[in-house]
Structure 1
Amino acid sequence: MSKYRVNSKYKAVLVGGSAGSFQGVTRILSSVPKDFSLPIIMCLHRLKHVRHGFEEALSIKSAKPVTEPHDKESIKKGGVYLAPSNYHMAVELGNTFSLSTEGAINNSRPAIDVTLDTASYAYREKVVGILLSGANKDGAMGMKKIKDRGGLTIVQDPQECMIDTMPTAAMSLTAIDYVLGIDQIIEFLLELDQQYR
C-alpha cells in the first residue's frame, strides 16, 4: 500500500528551486531511472550572465540527459528540461514550451511562478509540483495555482533546506499536499513511475 497519493493520471513533474537546491536536484536526477515515464520540467534560479555549465553539471549527475528547450519545442515523454538562463519558460496548451524575455518576476528570470502557473493551466489536475530550497518567494503563487487546479503539491521539508524561504512561503499561501525530505521525494517519484509500468 502506497503512503503517497500516486496514480497514472499525471502528465508532468515540475521542479522549482533556488539557493541551496542544487544538491537536492542532482540527487533526484541521479535517482530516477533512465526510462522514467513522465517529463521532468525544471525551473531553477541561475546566474543570468552564465549561459553554459549549469545544464552540463546537472547532466553529469543525471541518469537522463538534461536539455534546455527551444521556443515552441514539443515536450516529450520522459524528457528532462531546464529553463534556459535569462528566459522565462512557460508550458503552453498543445504540450510545447514558450520562452520569453519579459521582465523579471520576483527578481528572477526564469521565474518559477511562470513555469508552474502555465503548466498548471495546461495540465490542470494532471501535474505534480515540487518546490525545493530557495531564498525568495518565487514559486509560492505557482504552487497555489497547481493546488487550485487540482494538481499535487510537494515542498522540501524546511528543516532540511539550506534556505527555507521558498517552501515556507508556499506553505503559508496554500495547503501543500506533502512536506518531504529529498529521500522521500525520490521515493514518491519512484512510486509514481511504477504506475506507468
Structure 2
Amino acid sequence: MKTTLNSGERADWALPVVDAIVVGASAGGVEALLNVFASIKPGFRLPILTVLHVPEERRSQLAQVFAARLPIRVKEADDKEDIAPGTLYFAAPGYHLSVEADRSLSLSQEDRVYHSRPSIDILFSSAADAFGARLAGILLTGANNDGASGLAYIKDCGGLTVVQDPNQAQARTMPEAALALHSPDYLLPLNDISQLLVELERIAC
C-alpha cells in the first residue's frame, strides 16, 4: 500500500490502464466529490460511475449540481443505458446501480445494503465483474461500512483500489472499514486522488 504521494512522485505512479472508474461516498460526500472531480478538464474520456448515499424520499439534484461545475457530461444513470466515455453517472435515489456483463447499466430495487439503496458494494462488485482488471475503484468519506467489501472485490479481480485517508475524511468509518479488509493500492488525501484521476485518463487515452 502506498500511503503518501507528493508532486515529485507523480511520474512514478504505477497505474494500470483502466476503462472505467467507480466512486463511492456517503456522509461528507458532496464536498469530497467536488474536490476529487475538480481536476477534470474538457475532453476527459473515461466514464465515472458514482454512488453517493442520498435520502430516497426526494429527487436528487446531484447531476445538476455537478453538471454546472464540470466540463464533461453529467447525468443520472438510466436503466439499460450503455456506458459512454467521458460521462459522469450518478446513481438515482432508491435504486441500486449495477454494471451488466455487456457494460450497460441496470437499476433495481433489491434490499438495502447497510441501510442504503443505492449501494456502493453492488456498484463496485458488478463493475469488477464487467471490467475486471481494467477498473479503478475509489472509496471516500462515509459513516457506514458500505463499499468496503466491494472495493476488496475490485482488488481481487485485479483492479486498482484507492481509499481516502481517514484522517482527512469528514466521516472516517467508511475508509476505515475498507482498510480493515484489504490494503489499497493508494491511501490518499482528496487533492491527490483528484490528480490520480488525471493520470488514469492520460494513461488510458
TM-score category of the 2 structures, normalised to the smaller one: over 0.9
Please say if 1:104 is aligned against 2:98: no
In 2: Cα distance, 1:167 partner to 1:22 partner: 16
Percent pairwise identity: 37
Please say if 1:188 is aligned against 2:177: no
Q: Deviations over 1:126-149 (max 9, x none)?
A: 100000000000000000100101
2:88 is matched with 80
Please say if 1:148 is aligned against 2:171: no
Unaligned runs of 5+ in 1: none
In 1: Cα distance, 2:98 partner to 2:50 partner: 11
In 2: Cα distance, 1:18 partner to 1:63 partner: 24
- RMSD of aligned Cα (Å): 1.2
The one-letter code matched in structure 2 to 1:143 is: L
The one-letter code matched in structure 2 to 1:6 is: L
Q: TM-score, normalised by structure 2?
A: 0.92
In 2: Cα distance, 1:196 partner to 1:127 partner: 11
In 2: Cα distance, 1:16 partner to 1:71 partner: 19
1:31 is matched with 39
The one-letter code matched in structure 1 to 2:13 is: Y
**Is this contact kept in 1: 2:39–2:195, CA < 8 A?**
no
Structure 1 pair 30–187 and aligned structure 2 pair: CA distance change class (3 A): closer
Aligned residues: 196
2:14 is matched with 5
In 2: Cα distance, 1:5 partner to 1:13 partner: 16
Q: TM-score, normalised by structure 1?
A: 0.95
In 2: Cα distance, 1:33 partner to 1:165 partner: 31
2:5 is matched with none
Q: Deviations over 1:83-137 (max 9, x none)?
A: 0111000001111001001111110000000000000011111100000000000
**Is this contact kept in 2: 1:158–1:168, CA < 8 A?**
yes
Structure 1 or 2: more helix by fraction: 2
1:22 is matched with 30
- List aligned pairs for 1:120-159, cutoff 5 A: 120-159=128-167
The one-letter code matched in structure 2 to 1:146 is: I
Structure 2 SS opposite 1:80 = strand
